[in-house]
Structure 1
């Protein structure tokens, strides 16, 4: 085998491997997009269901605005994902159309070659029989070669016929795939039109409500500031409790009580290491929910000039939602304050998670809990029907953004 032939075969093999890898990556991406699209569609259905249930309730303008903002963001994402799917399908359709054209040309050439072969074979049979062809050999060696030639020619004919059959079936499958892809693309485009109309309707409703709010913006601003002052007071109290828990733990270990981090035993170090190893993969503290307030300094949805400081996230969920521990740990405190719903504090080595605004508690101080274990139930406000869980994550006393830790938050 020459170097040139070896080089050609290696190039062909590399191309085939790259092509198959590319197709595999494309298929995986399509599956990922379809999964995400179905998730978003289910979320739209869930929002619509909750709205239908809440129609009889007197909801505040703030909760209505948050609801509009969230549905608008979900619809935006749904439209983007559907567009991505349509674009991928478009590329697949173009690729299939090229394959069909190439295969048709190949089949045409194969059929022409096969027809010429059949004609040649027929003429050959008319002119002299195979036996005469063999008997006319000058010696045994030539007769053997002629016999091999006849066999090879016959096999080649048969292989050509099989190749034509296989290629014809391939062409039929490609045509079916193409029709399926074109139909899927039509469905995606039709779905996107519906989503676009729904998005326009949501934006219009949002704008109409904002017009009504702007007429008396100062009243809403005062209400928001009062709520945020109360939230800040509660956060300060919680911070004191966290620092007290750290001081108490460190005192038992014979370490400094002024530290903002826990002194760890070997077992606690391992727990903290495992907690960090799961960063970005921790489960949500509720089965179904959405973030209604992000971590950090966030503009108010009603007055963009008013900045809300949040040391955790607020998660809107459904009535009766159970709260789950996001990782293995120990219940450090059950925090109870005047006019505040109970809070569960769980320690994971030198990390702490807090679950605020509970109506029921299933655990007690000192209990060992496991990942996804139910620890309580979220409180539902009877006046507006909202079920909001406050979730805080900190390293010692230093707060961290839960979105960096919880899967797809």
Structure 2
């Protein structure tokens, strides 16, 4: 029973270690990705810092760096917590294995002492021949044989436990060294974060001297955002109106066909002097006018199937650009005290980056908004919008597949920023695109 407990202990320890390794590997992958993104932002910041004129782009890059740096510190802290848990588990395992080893050695020492006192062949023979009968003599002989086997097995258990103990001690030392390294990294990251926050404060002070220019720039940006939102809303309303018109036409055609069939049946009955066949009680049918926008947009089997497929990929849609990071999230935010509502997310990427469809669908609209392009794609009752494109490679009414190229991202000449604005709507309601995209 004792050896069974020891075996189960080892199994549980190794299972916990495997789970830790998977979690640790995922956190390390995330930390490495954040480090790469920070390196990219550092290079972009150095380009802007070489200019004597302070720009909003510098401030935005610093904000993005601070956000990524804080996320990296949180990731490192999660790794440290994992290591603390692993250190605790390994320490308990070492203590338990040491206790088991001490018990095994104590028992083995007792067996060695017994064997020493009965080491001569004469003593063994006397032990056997002193039996009352043949049956007892046989049992004593088997006992001596089993005692020798058990003693050998105990020695093997001791060696195996000692080996497991040494492995756990090595793992414990390695984990402690990893924790020490992470604590050092965390300290460096916090120092870098402090410097970046100082730089941000300095840039804000310098930018405040250009307040008039920046506010004009901000107002122009807000006008463009508002115009883009109106274009998206207008395109979606047109799609809903068109879907409702088609549904109403189909409904009228069905009613006309049913009326024609009833008239034909009545005429046939009149000729044969028989009563017209009963069509049964009429069941109330919901008219197209009473249907919701969602029902109208999903009125065809193809549209309903596409909506279900799109919904089924929530949280795993590909990003509209191959490489990028979110610089402005969904919802309410403030810039220089100006309240702004973001219906989507801004994704910074490299100059000339390709914009791609996140899901298959049909291009609902392509529009020029203040010098850059907007592409809207319908996916059943869902719509995705891609704005701030320098060029487009699709046209209205075109069917597109997942990850198909839509165009290239534009770079703002005033700020030097290259980013695509991505919106996602369910009907006329904007939803947070980030929770639909695959984890970055």
**Range class of TM-score, shorter chain:** 0.7 to 0.9
Map of 1:359 onto structure 2: 390
State how far apart, in whole Å, the 2-side matches of 1:11 and 1:180 are. 27
State how far apart, in whole Å, the 2-side matches of 1:12 and 1:185 are. 28
How many angstroms does 1:283 deviate by?
1.9
Cα deviations by residue, 1:45-80 (Å, 9 ceiling, x for unpaired): 222233345555687632211111111111111112
2:361 to 329, 332, 335: 329
2:87 to 93, 110, 118: 93
Map of 2:330 onto structure 1: 295
Map of 2:421 onto structure 1: 390
Change (3 A) 1:390 1:274: same
Map of 1:341 onto structure 2: 372
Query: TM-score under structure 2 normalisation?
Result: 0.81
Map of 1:137 onto structure 2: 131
State how far apart, in whole Å, the 1-side matches of 2:7 and 2:167 are. 24
Map of 2:282 onto structure 1: none
How many angstroms does 1:169 deviate by?
0.3
State how far apart, in whole Å, the 1-side matches of 2:387 and 2:52 are. 24
Change (3 A) 1:264 1:57: farther
Structure 1, gaps ≥5 residues long: none
Cα deviations by residue, 1:224-268 (Å, 9 ceiling, x for unpaired): 123212321232233223322332343234366997552531111
Map of 1:44 onto structure 2: 38
Residues 360 and 376 in structure 1, CA contact (< 8 A), matched pair in contact too: yes
Structure 2, gaps ≥5 residues long: 250-287
State how far apart, in whole Å, the 2-side matches of 1:14 and 1:102 are. 12
How many angstroms does 1:401 deviate by?
2.1
Matches within 5 A, 1:6-25: 25=19
**Is residue 407 from structure 1 mapped to residue 438 from structure 2 by the alignment?**
yes
Map of 2:276 onto structure 1: none
State how far apart, in whole Å, the 1-side matches of 2:79 and 2:106 are. 40
State how far apart, in whole Å, the 1-side matches of 2:438 and 2:359 are. 12
Residues 264 and 350 in structure 1, CA contact (< 8 A), matched pair in contact too: no
How many angstroms does 1:27 deviate by?
4.2
How many angstroms does 1:22 deviate by?
5.7
Residues 331 and 346 in structure 1, CA contact (< 8 A), matched pair in contact too: yes
Change (3 A) 1:60 1:245: farther
Change (3 A) 1:250 1:11: farther
State how far apart, in whole Å, the 2-side matches of 1:128 and 1:78 are. 75
**Is residue 238 from structure 1 mapped to residue 232 from structure 2 by the alignment?**
yes
Matches within 5 A, 1:62-211: 62-126=56-120, 128-211=122-205
Larger radius of gyration: 2
How many angstroms does 1:179 deviate by?
1.4
CA-atom RMSD in angstroms: 3.1
Map of 1:313 onto structure 2: 345
For residue 362 of structure 2, give the secondary structure of its aligned residue in structure 1: strand
For residue 430 of structure 2, give the secondary structure of its aligned residue in structure 1: strand
Change (3 A) 1:380 1:143: same
Change (3 A) 1:368 1:28: same
How many angstroms does 1:86 deviate by?
1.3
Residues 355 and 392 in structure 1, CA contact (< 8 A), matched pair in contact too: yes
Cα deviations by residue, 1:193-249 (Å, 9 ceiling, x for unpaired): 211111111011001111222345344233312321232123223322332233234
Matches within 5 A, 1:243-258: 243-254=237-248
How many angstroms does 1:101 deviate by?
2.9
Residues 57 and 416 in structure 2, CA contact (< 8 A), matched pair in contact too: no
Of 344-353 and 310-319, deviating more is 310-319
Residues 232 and 376 in structure 2, CA contact (< 8 A), matched pair in contact too: no
Of 224-233 and 52-61, deviating more is 52-61
How many angstroms does 1:317 deviate by?
0.9
